[in-house]
Chains A and B, each alone.
Chain A
Amino acid sequence: MSTDWKTEVDKCSKCGKCHTVCPVFLETGDESMVSRGRISLAEALRDKQIVYTDKLRDYVYSCKKCMRCRTVCPSGVDYEVIISALLSGVAENMGIPLLPRIIFRYILPRRILFDLMLKVSSKIQWLIPMKRRGQMRHLPLLFMGKRWIPTLAKKTALQKFRKTKKLKNPKMRVGLFTGCLINYIYVDIAEAVVDVLNRMNIEVVVPQGQLCCGTPSSTMGDFKSTKKLADVNKEVFESQKLDAIVTACATCTKAIKMDYLRTLGPSWQSMSDKIYDISEFIDKYCGDEYETKPIDEKVTYHDPCHLLWVRGISDEPRNVLKKSSDFVEMDQAGACCGGGGIFTIIHYDLTLKMLERKVASIERSGADTVATNCPGCVMQIADGFAGKNSKIKTTHSIQILQKALVDSGINKEK
């Protein structure tokens, strides 16, 4: 993948339009924290004017990889190619800090070890061995610091759905890619997915060998680890006979539907075509069929970056919510909540600013509940409200549908 970034950077006309959408730049106004700046740094690297330094790494890590910039770039720069090259350059040249490296290389690929580590880590507080702007309180996937994150589930989603609930005459048979957050923390989201789909007469398989999608390692430029994870996931899902694969995590969808095309090559295309976000799937295949009794709550929707800006999905989750609740729109629904990966660690202060804005938008909407389609966003936003003792609930939109779904006709379990 590092073949074409060197020419891709030349496409940048330096017009500055990425300023308009970059959630990080909108907070900082730092030219070094926007695509145009990082592209100029990439050029300088290519031309051997600079080398990899701590500072450069910080600027590279300051990217949230939401890919909004790509959606507005009039010169058609594929920024993802460039940022991936930078991340991998950082990893190759500066190495990855020991702890994440161990996790990515040895633990993530091994389900049992991962399970074990999380159990241990829930008991102790760690600081990762890197010094940078802001305080590094936690690695949200793994550790609990000063932030409020939900407790780990006693039984993971994979464990819970070891056995597939067989339907008599299923309309379709789909696989669920759980992703780590749902598997370990938000098992109830997985339950909602399975429950809703089952009630829509769709059989749900949760393939047991599946691993992390690889985003955490890609985020830190460790594409080798990502490739390993992808290889396993490919094998696991290809071995099943599935009509579709659904996920309830925007980031996992982006990873396995989009990023794997690069990681695994064109052979992944046919699988990629079958991968859907859960709302996208329901809207497409069951949109006109299911019946609901809308819950008596005002619900608003937060667009996860990886769903809106990478995949352009915005109507589908709203369609589902409109059928299931008293839906209200919030201002700047597409603004980043600030959550996500390494960024929250290196640039914790910015994370908080973005979160504050998001929380304020939600409050202005007058909603009782904010729904979204990404467990990462759920965790981030819930953290924002927990700190404020707010009554506003944060949930996944599938859980709203789960409550509103009426069992009649098609919805009736056979």
Chain B
Amino acid sequence: MKHFKKTKTESKKHQKVLNELIMVLGGEKVLSAIEDRICYSYDGTKQKALPDIVVRPGCTSDVSNTLKIANKYEIPIYARGAGTGLTGGAVPLMGGIVLDLKSMNRIIEICPEDFVATVEPGVVTKHFQDEIAKFDLFYPPDPSSAAFSTIGGNVAECAGGITGLKYGVTRDYILALEIVLSDGSVINTGRKTLRSVTGYDLTRLFIGSEGTLGVFTRITVKLIPKPKKIETLAAYFSDRDDAIDAADLIIDNNILPRTLEFMDQMTISAVRGYGEAPIGEDVKALLLIDIDGTEESISHELPVVENACKEKKAFKTKVAETPRERESIWAVRRSISPALYNIAPHKINEDICVPRSKIKEILQKVDQINEHQTIYIANFGHIGDGNIHVNIMYNDDPGQAALAESIVNKIMREVVAVGGTISGEHGIGNKKSQFMELEISPKELAIMKRFKGFFDPKGIMNPGKMFI
């Protein structure tokens, strides 16, 4: 999508909305210059659509007022964190208002005694992790984008990240939310306690709702003690299946690594050269493994993990000796997603999740589906959870985009056929809405739409996402 969708002409309504927003929020927080609108037109999918207005709220009441106005005039509203999403969640497909929540980025409180913290949605995940680390506490969800994506965005998509196998996903750490609903009313869900079952779990209903039900303005999360120590091991394989077998064997040995990341040959070729130690041509698959815990637990687990890799024919294993080496190993992993553009200029990024026992099968299916010389597929991801990022890379030549789409379509069918899900953590957005019905039956889809209709009767919240 190279071109902006046609924007609304500066109609009377639009002008009214703008004036009202400026009157209520003040001119500083309301942007309408084309230059500003362009800067809030995209996300990590490279899609673009131009919003009419960008609002940068400073507090909950700013958000509430904006929603009241949007609701009154039935103008679409798109909540946006750092705009790093991979399914188009933050792209203002139908114009209207982008609500840039980066401007609400305060850590409101950290309670080290209660293992609880409350933040505004615009706090960058890594920044938050660093702040709580000062108290030796740990917020595990760690998407690759943690250094620049926001907690609000993570909650909206229910991001998983690389620590999911051992520590679970974002959902498992959210205790309470302050939410502004589409009519501007504010609700509080959940409780700032480690447990609460009072009434229905609205908190979880809103987690992963991709900005289609309401806007989070405060997020209370659960923290856990920071593991005392982390060790990192990279294992190099000459066969993809060996790497998968090794992952299985590690878990069969009753070890849940903090992270268990897999990279296939195509992925390796894209990031080759990013790390300090270049990866050899003979490496056909790679496992990156973090073990965390105490000195004692690590001294027990690390050899088991290393032996499991060797038993499954890893031709080389390397344990990071220094924090710098560790960082360098992980820098490679974090570079993958964007570095894939080194293979081809266009990418369709899928994040399927299958039962772990089906990984080999699904990867074989993916190979079979892609017999095209011009399209490259790179697979990597959180193999312990069965969450594989399947990236279909294609070039500008005519017909390639359609070809790539047809491949995605076939892959999605296979994924659902083996009992998998079309999205492990990126969400649906507009990129995957067409595949929803593969996985979700019409009946369940209808229920979801009723939820949507209930919370957002005018359909102003992130329209064009999740459902077709």
Chain A nearest Cβ from B61, distance in angstroms: 19
- Does residue B230 face the partner (Cβ distance < 8 Å to A)? no
In the complex, which residues of chain B have a beta carbon less than 8 angstroms from the beta carbon of A59?
35, 39
Q: Is A251's beta carbon under 8 Å from chain B?
A: no
User: Is B103's beta carbon under 8 Å from chain A?
Assistant: yes
Given A14-B46, A55-B33, A56-B35, A75:B84 Cβ within 8 A: no
With A13-B341, A56-B35 as given contacts, are A31 and B40 in contact (CB-CB < 8 Å)?
A: yes
Question: With A14-B43, A14-B44, A16-B84 as given contacts, are A74 and B38 in contact (CB-CB < 8 Å)?
Answer: no
Q: Is A76 an interface residue (CB 8 A)?
A: yes
Interface residues on B, range: 35 or more
The yes or no answer to B405 lying at the interface (CB within 8 A) is no
A41 within 8 A of B: yes
> Which residues of chain A are near B334, meaning CB under 8 Å?
74
A47 at the interface (CB under 8 A from B): yes
Interface residues of A in 55-73 (CB under 8 A from B): 55-56, 59, 73
A14-B83, A29-B105 known; A19 and B35 CB under 8 Å?
Answer: no
Min Cβ gap B54→A in Å is 9
Interchain CA distance A47-B122 in the complex, whole Å: 31
Nearest to B34 among chain A residues (CB) is: A50
The distance from the CB of B105 to the nearest CB of chain A, in whole angstroms, is 6
The 8 Å CB contact of A16, one of B48, B148, B345, is B148
Question: Contacts A15-B84, A16-B149, A47-B3; is A55 near B339 (CB within 8 Å)?
Answer: no
**Chain A residues with CB below 8 A from B122, complex form:** 29
CA distance A10 to B148 in the complex (A): 21
Known: A15-B84, A16-B44. A44 touches B38 (CB 8 A): yes
Q: Is the CB of A31 within 8 A of B39?
A: yes
Contact A29 B342 (CB under 8 A): no
Assess whether B345 is in contact with A10, with CB atoms less than 8 Å apart. yes
A330, chain B: closest CB distance, angstroms: 17
Task: From known contacts A40-B41, A47-B3, A49-B4, infer whether A17 and B35 are also in contact, taking CB-CB under 8 Å.
Answer: no
8 Å CB contact of A31 from B2, B83, B126, B274: B83
- Which of B82, B342, B345 has the most chain A CB atoms inside 10 A of its CB? B82
From A11, A19, A49, A56, give the contact of B82 (CB < 8 A): A19
Do the beta carbons of A16 and B145 come within 8 Å of each other?
Answer: yes
Q: Does A225 contact B (CB under 8 A)?
A: no
**For the complex, is B100 an interface residue (Cβ under 8 Å from A)?**
yes
Q: Which residues of B contact A49 (CB under 8 A)?
A: 4, 34, 38
Contacts A31-B102, A53-B35 given: A76-B42 contact, CB under 8 Å?
Answer: no
Cα of A44 to Cα of B42 in the assembled complex, Å: 12
Checking B39, B42, B44 against A32 with a beta-carbon cut-off of 8 angstroms, the contacting residue is B39
Which B residues are CB-close (under 8 A) to A19? Answer: 82, 124, 147-148
Q: What is the CA–CA distance of A44 and B341 in the complex, to the nearest angstrom?
A: 21
Check B430 for interface membership: any CB of A closer than 8 A: no
Rounded to whole Å, the gap between the CB of A28 and the closest CB of chain B is 9
Is A20 at the interface (CB under 8 A from chain B)?
yes
A residues near B (Cβ < 8 Å) are: 10-11, 13-17, 19-20, 29-32, 37, 40-41, 44, 47, 49-50, 53, 55-56, 59, 73-76
9 contacts between A and B (CB under 8 A): A13-B341, A16-B82, A17-B148, A30-B39, A40-B42, A41-B35, A55-B33, A74-B339, A75-B339
